[in-house]
Amino acid sequence: MCLENTIAHDKNSPSQDRANAMIFLCHHIDEVLKMQYVMLESPLELWEKLKGRYDHLRLTLLPRARSEWQSLRFQDFKTVQEYNSAMFKVTSQLRHCGENIFESDMMEKTFSTFHASNMVLQQQYREKSFQKYSELITCLLLAEQNNELLLKNHESRPTGANLFPEANAIQPANPVPSANEHTARVKRGRPLGFKDKNPRKRKIVNTSEDINNDQISEKVLAITMIGS
């Protein structure tokens, strides 16, 4: 269906084409707009109403889109994916407003906004002579994933660290105690031959029951001696 010709030559177009064009336009507008223009039967009339209502938005959107394009920098984003999303958002707004943004413009924007510490890396990407912006982003995404993998492997076991023991490793029957274990054992008790300068004194506690038992024993012994 050639929608442009149907709208431009509304009166000369067949009724079937005008009906299809009207259905197509109503399918892609908001429900509130459908209710406002429900009485219109001509696709040309509906198109002119929508154009007069929203065509001025390009004039208000263009300055903001240009400002975002000027401030867009690759070094300001943490990941390549975030930068790529921002790039497509800005370029789609500029193209909607009639600005011409080419693949070379997008690649030059990316190269010129690398961080200053990555000047050599930026030059290496330039020398690859990418023809499309998508090829450059694919290469950057792959390099980012490789860097994350290297950092993950380094953090799991730093340089010079020993390997983790195997789960099924055989432990020795009589392991040699380490210096720390020997120190811990000495601290638990006094070693043989150790003389304490201030030995602890045992406290002798005589309960009332022990005193009564001693008195009863003395009386029994006295009675036995008298009887004999």
For the chain, the structural domain boundaries read 3-55, 58-155
Residue 46's pLDDT is 84
CA distances in angstroms from 214 to 204, 205, 210, 224, 228, listed in the order given:
16, 15, 6, 16, 22
Residues of the chain with pLDDT under 50: 184, 186, 205, 228
Residue 212's pLDDT is 57
Amino acid type, 126:
R
Residues 171-201 pLDDT 10s: 566 665 555 555 545 455 555 555 555 555 5
pTM greater than the 0.75 cutoff: no
Residue 224's pLDDT is 57
Residue 51's pLDDT is 83
**Cβ distance 96 to 61 under 8 Å?**
yes
Residue 163's pLDDT is 63
